[in-house]
Each structure stands twice: as C-alpha cells, then as structure tokens.
Chain A
C-alpha cells in the first residue's frame, strides 16, 4: 500500500510528504457485574498522508511552507486516492506558514516491543486481565459493577520524502471499571487504567483500592463547610496538576505566546515547598513525525530546562525537535504519605472530573470522595468542589515519597497544597 501511495504522490506532483501507516488489532470485552456483555475485535489499517507545499514569498527569500493531512485506506481505488491527494496538495498552499525544515531523516530496522502482552494471543491476554480485574471482587458489600477491557497490538511505520523509514510495534491494555457499594448509601466510583505490560498485579491492586474507596464513599457525609483548606491530591490528580508545566513549556505554547517561559528561567518562583523536577518520558521510539524520541528533563528544580513539541514549533524556536510526549515523570517526593496527610487537611481521593486549565492555571472538580482529617479523626466526606490556582499553590508544594505509576505518569502518589478554596456541601 505504501508503494501505491508513493506512486499516487508522484502522479499528483507532490515532492514533500510523510506517510504514517498504522495497523491495529484489538480484543475488547465488556462486562455487567461478572457477566459477559459483549465481545469485540478489530483489524484496521490506516494511512495518514501529510503533504507539504512551498509558496514563494512575494519579495523573495525563504518560501512559506504549508501542509495538510488526509487519511487513505486500502480499498480506495487509484482514482479516489489521486483525488484525495490532489485535494490535500491544493489545500496546502492556503495553509502556508513561515518556513520550517522538515524533520531530519531517520532510518532503522523495526523496533519490536517484547514481553507477554506484545507476543501472546490477544484473547489470552484479555482473559488474564479479566481474571485480575475480578480477583479482588469477593467482598459482597462493595463490588465491580461493570468493566471494559481493551487489549491492542499495533504496528507503526513512518516513511517520508526526506528518507525517513522507521517502524515499531506497540501493545497496550487499557479500560475502565465502576465499583459500587449499596450500603449505607448506594454509590459508585468510576476508574480507568492503562498499562504497557500485562500487569495483572497492578490491576488487581487498583481494583482492591477502588473497592475500599467506594465503601468509604457509601458512608461519606456532606459535612464540609466552604473555606480554605490544605488539600492533598493523589493518583491521577497529581499528574493533572503537573500538566500545567508541560503545557506551558511546550514549543507550541511558547511560539503562540501563550507562554512567556524562557529556558534557564525559574518558572516556579519563590517557594517554601519543593522545587519541581519533571522529565518527559519517551513511550515510543519515534514520534508521529518520525523523530527519534528520548527522555527529556523539562524542569529541573523549578527552572525550565527545555522546550518540547513537534517539529515545526521547535524549528521556529531554534531548538532540537523532540516530538510529542505522552508520559511525564516527577522526581519530587520528600515526605512520607502518612506525614503528608497529617491534619488539618482534606485528602480528595476521587473527583467526578478533575481538570487543570493550563491557560489560566485554575484547577478544580467536584469531590466524589475525600477525607477530612483533623484532631486525629478521619471523616469520609462527599460533595462540594475544589477551585484552586497553581500560580498560588506552587509556592508551597510538598510531595509524598510513595510513588504512583500509570502509562502517562510516574511520580509521587500525592501532593499537598496549601490554602485551597473548597466550596463545601455542608451548609
């Protein structure tokens, strides 16, 4: 198919291009309680073609460079393929942006992922993860209400007119499950998971923890009064807070002037807490543009070390293109979790949806389960909402020594923020 696309590109007079071939196979299982709801599988093969076109500058000099992308599939005939590519190439002249060099050429044999998830039949891996998911579901009072499991294996192949020809394989298992507890109040908590290995133990541990949390939510009270509290966030909420720094350090944000951060600048400012150290982790050997990926320290002790992002914006900022990252690691962590959550404090465990707005620096969400810890007493609470600003909170961040790992995050399990506004549900 790639040869067919190359021929079509030649017929259409396209000299600069990139083809991203993705082949994906999945096994998907859906459950209601422990009963099998639906089975699914898929085999798809997609070709995303990006065409580049130079537009002469009116006064001479470097041309503007435009590009558009189009998706082709194998059952298109040659005439359809030509029509799509001609349309894309025509459009590219109207998407002309300041000139940028295309990514440097990269060539290498296929990088193959190893391990059981990458090599075993998908159905077998799915069966193992299902057993891991339901293994802790033995309590009766709190149980798994429903679950979805997706096991996927993919091959990625990137070829370009500049000579790039790289490929790699990947395998993932992800999904979600809802835990429920009916007494004293009938409640649920929604959970998601994603692993790049067949990590049955991690999934079982996550379900076990979720069952504990939903039991506590069932007896949680709407007693918290509005005010400012020291707030402990844990798990995925920590990664969400840190996403502010990843967004502000991206080459696209800096180029668009949404971020004024400069390399070597102390972007955290004065702080009585820990100084942040964040590294972007490469989860694939190549970016979608065919750029070889490597771990990239972004913040070191609160100081911006590097910009990151796709080729075009990095070229504009005269930095080495890094590609787009999907995982961040945080090196912080000075305080054992038991000490970190010493009262008075609100430890918010789950939200309906916790979000960081990287533009404004505001973060917030509605509390599904939190613990009010004060005077040696731990009270499960529910309701109310957090409304904070990282611009204030970063002046006093304290992280746990305990670690937490997902497919998108590796770092402290928890962070303590000082004096965050919480609208209570207890008035």
Chain B
C-alpha cells in the first residue's frame, strides 16, 4: 500500500542530508493517508473520503541555536529541497527576530540511536476491497433493524469508518516504516418523548479492516432497547455511591481521570500532580494500569510520530505509581527515556505526549459477584464524555446510564445523565473488585485540552468503586 511513500523516500533522505548540513539534528515524518467514512441515518446516506484521516503530508523537525522547530508541508519533490531549506531558514529568522528577548526552554537534542524497522498491522478484509455498495448495504440493513424495534424509535444511525496510513520516519540514523489499518463502527438509536430526545450508542472497533462489520449485528437490538429505557430515566439524587462500572466506564476513568495526569509533557510544565507521587500508592492494590501497543486496538503502532519505538508501559503496578508516558522532547528535558507516546493529530500539528491503548488489568471477580455485593448503588454504563484535570486530579466524567442496584439486585430503575466527580486517588483507592477480563474500545478520539484529536483506545474490566454522582 501507499507507493507514494516509496516514490518520495529517496528525496526525503536527500532533504535530511541537506538539513543536516545546516542544523545539528533533522528528521522528517512522512504520512500517506487513506480513510473513508460511511454513514446512514434519517438524514440520508453519506460517504466521505475527505477529512476523515489526518491527511497526506510531511513534517520536518530541526534544532537550531534556539531550540526545536518544525515545518509542515504537503508538496514535495527533490527539486523542492533547496526551497524547503530556504523557507525553514527564513521562517526561523523571522520568528527569532519577532521573539527577541524571549528565553528558550533548555532542550537537549533527543537521542538518535540507530534503528531500522518496516512493519504492518494485520487485517482480514480491506474495506476498500469490500466496496461501498456492500458496506452501505450492511449498515442500511442494521439501521432498518433498529428502526423496527419500536415505533418510539425516532432514528437510528449506523456508521463505519476506516483509516489506513503509512508513516515513514527518517533521520540521520533512523529509517522506520509502518503501515496500520483500523476500523471503527457504531450504532446509535434515538428515541423521543416530546422535545426531549434520548440516545444510546454502541461502538465497535478493531485493529484491522472490514471483518468488524460482522460484529455490528450483535449491538442493534441492545442499542434500541437502551434508548427506549432512557425515556423513563430520571435525574439521580446527588451523592456518593457504591458503583459497578462497565468496561467502557472503567476505560473512561482510566483515560480521563488518571491517564492524562501521567502524560509527562505535563511534568515539564509543572501541570501534573502525579509527578510528586512516583513510587507512592495512588490506587487500590487491585489496580494495574498499562499504556502501549502490547494489545491490538485502534491506537496500536510500532513507532510514534517522533520516531520512538513503542512498547508496553506499566504506569500503576498493584496500586503504586511507577512512571508516566513520555514524548521525546519532554523526555530529553526531564532526563528520562521516551515511551513512544509522542503523537500528532496530523502532520500539520506538533507532537505532544499522548495516550495510545490505555487500560486496567483484570482481577478475580465476576460482574455478577460485584452487583451482588452492592447494597445501595448503581451499575454505570455508556460513558459519553470526560475531561482531564492533571493538576488537581479532579474527575469530570459523564455517563449516559446509571442502573439502580438495591440489596445486590438490579431494580430496573434508570437514572440519566450522570456526572461523576471527586478526587482521582480517592476513587482509585476505593476500588474493591475487578472482573477477570479487560475489554478495550477504540472507537473514540482523544483531545489535549480542547484540540489535537488522536485515535486512542481505553478500557478495563468491570470495576467496583465508591464514586460521587450528580
């Protein structure tokens, strides 16, 4: 796939050589992108291949006398190399002049240890080969099934998105080449009562291709029933409760409540409380947290966008905070080893420390045992959004559904929407049960603040904890 990369590679190597004559460090990340999204809803059928992926282009990184600088562009040929070098030099001169008097943040040039790699992830069926007709036919049939469940169903949406990309990272000592394909899908069902519309959402994801389509059938009736159940939901009485989190809700807590707080570019900025807790208990001994590419999900990759090889980072080990995730620049500033978490929204954006596949390890309990152990609490399902607070470890997560549990049994009463709040270590230290098998979902994107969207997955097992709900 992506022969363009092979075509431009010799020229990019010459570009690196030309830049190295001027700068002590130079690298280039080339990205070739293929993405497509199919969606059906009452609004119609939509197929788009524009704007779904990050786009095809290049980003050069150099170090000059001031520090790190980058230049993104999407037109390249060998003839353009002198022009690109000249533009970089001109822009740096202009910026340095405009910033006269501004002190640079000391940044050692990141290590450029020799590495050569060429790998691709596996897929069974390329969605492009399956074809638009078959995919639209499949999701249309799924939508019709959801619409037929009950006349109160206002609309059902079914969608499939895939992205295949090839990334080439070149520096003086590195030649890394990876091709990755992920596919996501979803079924969303809306049911209405007056002006109020309730929606349930069932996501699917795979590091792979159109084989995911076979999984979609299983979620249709459930999504429709959930939407209808929500019509009878009520606001929750605010308070602190024993809660059983479904794997998706556990994943949101892993990602939003804790994961962002151990992104080590936040350590550089003195924005993360976690920096002072290394080696300390921050969670129940039942909690072990991983990030990386040891699992196959949508954010799996072989190297990151700064040319650092990926692996498995154990962040919390049986309740003890061991280390954070780190991009190459932050690692150079902090004097630690980067973990392969330097990621860009696209070649047009800078790299930050970002999560990949982030999850809690499984425990020994079953979901049934966990529900049976709750006297007065809730089963939390279907996370809808969350926001990080690395500085203060405040939680803001929203879930769509809280199912009431009384005396160890689900009563059938539903509450919605639900806001989870509190202090992250309080929640994690209150974890008292974990189910055996973690489940990851990679259907979402993650922002840094309110922008810089990258593909991530998160998850974990069913988890019992004490949580403030409102």
Contacts and interface: CB of A to CB of B under 8 A. Distances in A.
A32 B235 contact: no
Contact of A387 (B72, B87, B417): B417
Interface in B417-470: 417, 419, 421-422, 449-451, 468-470
Interface string B141-153: 0000000000000
A256 B389 contact: no
B417 A357 contact: yes
Given A29-B99, A123-B98, A130-B99, 15 more contacts: A29-B95, A36-B102, A37-B68, A39-B67, A43-B71, A49-B50, A92-B47, A95-B45, A178-B269, A186-B391, A226-B470, A353-B385, A355-B398, A366-B421, A423-B419
A375 interface: no
Contacts of B392: 186-188
A32 to B, nearest CB: 5
Interface string B76-106: 1100000000010001101101110011110
A146 B98 contact: no
Interface in A228-269: 252, 255-258, 260
Interface centre among A31, A124, A357 (most CB of B within 10 A): A357
A256 B45 contact: no
A71 B470 contact: no
Interface in B384-407: 385-389, 391-392, 394-396, 398
Contacts of B128: 87
Contacts, number: 262
B276 to A, nearest CB: 10
B117 to A, nearest CB: 25
B102 A68 contact: no
Interface centre among A49, A73, A96, A122 (most CB of B within 10 A): A73
Question: 3 nearest interchain CB pairs?
Answer: A423-B470, A127-B98, A423-B238
Contacts of B186: none
Nearest to B237: A226
Interface in A43-63: 43-46, 48-50
Interface string A123-162: 1101110100000000000000110000000000000000
A42 B71 contact: yes
A190 B449 contact: yes
A41 B155 contact: no
Contacts of A387: 235, 417, 419, 470
Q: How large is the interface on B (under 10, 10 to 19, 20 to 34, 35 or more residues)?
A: 35 or more
A57 to B, nearest CB: 15
A295 to B, nearest CB: 26
28 contacts: A36-B103, A38-B68, A39-B95, A40-B70, A44-B57, A71-B55, A75-B76, A75-B77, A76-B4, A94-B136, A96-B45, A98-B44, A122-B94, A123-B95, A124-B94, A145-B269, A176-B450, A180-B391, A188-B271, A188-B391, A188-B392, A258-B197, A313-B43, A352-B396, A362-B417, A365-B419, A366-B419, A385-B419
Interface of B: 4, 8, 36, 41-51, 55-57, 66-77, 87, 91-92, 94-95, 97-99, 102-105, 107, 128, 132-133, 136, 154-155, 190, 195-199, 235, 238-240, 268-271, 329, 348, 350, 385-389, 391-392, 394-396, 398, 417, 419, 421-422, 449-451, 468-470
Contact of A352 (B71, B154, B394): B394
Contacts of A122: 94
Nearest to B268: A32
Given A34-B103, A73-B74, A98-B44, A39 B421 contact: no
Interface string A11-44: 0000000000000000111111011111111111
Nearest to B49: A70
A42 B71 CA distance: 5
A97 interface: yes
Contacts of A406: none
Contacts of B57: 44, 73
Given A27-B91, A46-B74, A258-B190, A37 B196 contact: no
A126 B396 contact: no
B396 A42 contact: no
Given A38-B67, A313-B43, A366-B396, A391 B195 contact: yes
Interface in A64-99: 66, 68-71, 73-76, 80, 84, 87-88, 90-92, 94-98
Interface of A: 27-32, 34-46, 48-50, 66, 68-71, 73-76, 80, 84, 87-88, 90-92, 94-98, 121-124, 126-128, 130, 145-146, 176, 178, 180, 186-188, 190, 192, 226, 252, 255-258, 260, 312-313, 351-353, 355, 357, 359-362, 364-366, 368, 383-385, 387, 391, 421-425, 427
A91 B132 contact: yes
B387 A69 contact: no
Nearest to B55: A71
Nearest to B418: A387
A245 to B, nearest CB: 12
B378 to A, nearest CB: 14
